[in-house]
Structure 1
Amino acid sequence: MNKNYIFFLLLLIMLPLHSQNKEKVYLWPDKTPNDIEFSEKTTETIISSGLITKITEVKYPSFTVYKPESISNGVGVIVCPGGGYNILAIDLEGTEVASNLAKLGYTVFLLKYSVPKKELDALNDLKRTIRIVRNDAEKYKIDEGKIGVLGFSAGGSLSARASTLYNKETYSEIDAIDSVSSRPDFSVLIYPAYLDKGENYSITPEINITKDTPPMFVFGTADDAHGNSCLVITKALNDVGVPVELHFLDEGGHGYGLREGNNAAETWPILLEKWLKKQR
């Protein structure tokens, strides 16, 4: 029998098994607070760092569960891709990151939040996701007190907003799940954006940091146009005594994810793993 034929036959057998390991959960039971119709469009574009898949519209948000590939460490991580609140860089800052964390024993929830230009809806989506995950912590075999958020660029902005606005109700309660706390237990911001919209590039007024804000890991570079966001949120956290670990390299740019060939992309995962171990 032809070897190529056998290879593709095995591949076809394995693909369904691979997909069955990933559960997809829609956030809202009947409709989102503002929309009814479900729509998701994807396009691909080539940039200098390689192929990036972009989701250009999400009207019915969901998350996909990535189960640990090794022994579970009991920690849940909700991953929020970036894209300027216009698109989702779903592979660069989503599936690739989720798969990497799952290999390390984390249970990962990859969020497809509302886009484009739906910043309030996106916040509601993340808050709802945290509540669902915490409500179903036993099902996912994680500790309900060890659920964090990890965001890139606009996803970092979204993670910071959820980490500081969890006590502010931004949508009407629709079921018992909405009575569950939406406070993340930790927050990871990788080259976050839009956190310095205050006067003279100070902290964005919406970001309400208090002593009860969860601990944060912040990573960025000096040559990133959004690099100041890392600095202002670190100072704001430090000013009120919230534990924060900042890593700020001299170069790396923006939007590198985990891709090889970029020192920043190869550095932050190592530093983050050490920090996450301290949060367990």
Structure 2
Amino acid sequence: MKLPLLIFSLLTGAMSAQDLPVLKSARVTLDLWPEGKMPGRATQEAQALHSPERMDAVRVTNVSRPTLSFYPAEGKDAPAMIVCPGGGYTWLTMDKEGTEIATWLNKHGISAFILKYRAPGNRDGALQDLQRALSLVRSRGAEWSVDPQCLGVIGFSAGGHLSARASNRFGQRAYAAVDDIDKQACRPDFAILVYPAYLDDGKGGLSPSLDVQADVPPTLIVHSEDDPGFVRGSKIYDAALTAAKRPHKFLLYPTGGHGYGLRSDRDAKAWPDAALTWLRSL
């Protein structure tokens, strides 16, 4: 158990011991890019924990060396998902929206790859990192017993926006190919967006970072009415996907708020089971 989460639990009683998942360790963590070939920019600050006074999760910032951590499920040719933690493109919530999600996916036969993408303030770099991660997993699918034709993305908050971008903006890679890995497709086969942020333009329209005229893969959107900062964007994206006749489903719960991961005690606590049912329907 991560120490900040343990301290938070002891001080507040917010989570009982039986509620905490037994987190797995990654089989391997890889650098996404060959030395000296990462496109775009990166912060020069040393990686650090962000907002240590908040004890409910482990958050990292100043990510200049993006990585991919592999959490394998049992079995051969397993479906897989790349997990994109949230944090407003300022930090990444690495346990609540990372390792806990990977452990949950593994429990249900899905291999997971946690993406630590560039931050802060680097949306273009984050998209490059996710596109590279999709191609990297496909290039090593046989080695990792992952089905390269059943590779999805799941993202939370800003990670949900990043996952939506990857499922819209795959037609033209966001960087020039650096090696043979980039010959592999960077389009996810499906996407789950959990309380995604930044899907609207702030004026009642769809964010210009998205393009529903693309061949958007099957998408599940999860949100709740009591997330006033971001639920409007999910409603607009749902309407845009409907108008474009793209396959998707929108789970809108009365309560849940924002940033709960698997820990909600309100209506949105139903989303993990609903998401599994949706995945099986594919």
Q: From 199, 204, 207, give the equivalent of 1:204.
A: 207
Q: How does 1:140-219 map to 2 (within 5 A)?
A: 140-197=144-201, 200-210=203-213, 212-219=215-222
Stretches of 4+ aligned residues off by more than 2 angstroms: 34-40, 42-47, 70-73, 260-263
SS of equivalent residue, structure 2 residue 58:
strand
Shift of 1:45: 3.6
One of 56, 59, 64 as aligned partner of 1:54: 59
Rounded Cα–Cα distance in structure 1 between residues aligned with 2:244 and 2:221? 16
Does 2:137 match 1:133? Answer: yes
Task: Name which one, 1 or 2, has greater alpha-carbon Rg.
Answer: 1
Partner of 1:27: 32
Is 1:267 aligned to residue 270 of structure 2?
Answer: yes
Residue 178 of structure 1 deviates from its aligned partner by 1.0
2:39 corresponds to which letter in structure 1? P
Give the whole-Å Cα distance in 1 for the aligned partners of 2:280 and 2:77: 10
Per-residue Cα deviation, 1:53-75 (whole angstroms, up to 9, x for no partner)? 1011110100100011x445720
User: Residue by residue, what CA displacement relative to the aligned partner does 1:108-131 show, whole Å, maximum 9, x if unpaired?
Assistant: 000000000011000000000000
| Aligned residue identity for 1:28 | W
- Structure 1: 5+ residue stretches without partners: 1-17
RMSD: 1.9
* 1:42 correspondence with 2:52: no
Task: Provide the residue aligned with 1:7 in structure 2.
Answer: none
**C-alpha distance in 1, partners of 2:122/2:214?**
29
Task: Say if 1:234 and 1:246, in contact at 8 Å, map to a contact too.
Answer: yes
Instruction: Give the structure-1-normalised TM-score.
Output: 0.86
Contact kept, 8 Å, 1:79 with 1:109, in 2: the verdict is: yes
Matches within 5 A, 1:96-111: 96-111=100-115
Is 2:59 the partner of 1:63? no
Residue in 1 aligned with 2:281? 278
1:233 aligns with 2:232: no
* Structure 2 match to 1:84: 88
State whether residues 45 and 52 of structure 1, in contact with CA within 8 Å, keep that contact through their aligned partners in structure 2.
no
Amino acid at match of 1:263: D
User: What displacement does 1:260 show?
Assistant: 4.8
The answer as to whether partners of 2:89 and 2:120 remain within 8 angstroms in 1 is: yes
| Gapped regions of structure 2 (runs ≥ 5) | 1-23
Structure with greater helix share of residues? 1
3-state DSSP class of the match of 1:234?
A: helix
Identity across the alignment (%): 36
Kept in 2, the 8 Å contact 1:132–1:177? The answer is yes
Deviation, 1:216, is 0.2
Compute the displacement of 1:255 (Å). 0.5
Q: Distance in 1 between matches of 2:111 and 2:64?
A: 25
How many residues align structurally?
A: 256
Q: Give distance in 2, aligned partners of 1:232 and 1:137.
A: 35
Residue 74 of structure 1 aligns with which residue?
78
Q: How far apart are 1:84 and its partner, in Å?
A: 0.3
Query: In 1, distance between residues paired with 2:165 and 2:156?
Result: 13
Match of 1:245 in 2: 249
What's 1:124 paired with? 128
Deviation at 1:35, TM superposition (A): 4.9
The amino acid across from 1:220 in the alignment is H
Q: Would the alpha carbon gap of residues 63 and 39 (structure 1) be closer, same or farther in structure 2, given more than 3 Å must change?
A: farther
Give 1:262 deviation, angstroms: 3.4
- 1:122-155 per-residue CA deviation (whole Å, 9 max, x = no partner) reads 0000000000011111112122110000000000
Cα offsets for 1:239-280 (capped at 9, x unmatched): 11111111101111100111153331x21101000011122x
CA displacement, residues 89-120 of structure 1 (integer Å, 9 cap, x when unaligned): 11111111111111111110000000000110
Per-residue CA distance 1:215-242 (angstroms, 9 max, x = gap) = 1000101110200121111111111111
